[in-house]
Amino acid sequence: MCLSRLHQVRSVCGSGKVLVEDMDGRRHEVSLLALEPPDPEPGPGDWLVVHSGYAIDRADAREAETALAEIARGNAHLEKVKGSAT
């Protein structure tokens, strides 16, 4: 199953691509082809929702902060559950 994930733009690569970093610190290039509206082009520090190598939506800093906090809370709960199962 493919999931969309939140990524932060690190640099603009040109040719409709940007270098992004995901929540785990992995960096990769993604295409802006599916991003609507295409303007303004995302720049360093902007947040994007990425699915299968394509930016499909934008997120403002407050939305990104809220989403990342919820994901971290969910991950902490999963680790706690895993730990109690052993």
Query: How does pLDDT run across 28-83, given as a tens digit for each residue?
Result: 999 999 999 888 999 999 999 999 999 999 999 999 999 889 988 988 888 888 88
Give the model's pLDDT for residue 1. Answer: 60
Q: What is the DSSP letter of 25?
A: S
Of the two residues 17 and 68, the one the predictor is more confident about is: 17
Tokens of 35: 């991003």
Give the model's pLDDT for residue 31. Answer: 97
Tokens of 60: 């403002």
Give the model's pLDDT for residue 86. Answer: 63
Query: Is the confidence at residue 2, as pLDDT, over 90?
Result: no
- Look-up: residue for tokens 């995901």? 22
Q: Where are the beta strands (DSSP E) in the chain?
A: 5-14, 17-22, 27-31, 47-51, 54-59
Domains of the chain: 5-85 (2.30.30.140)
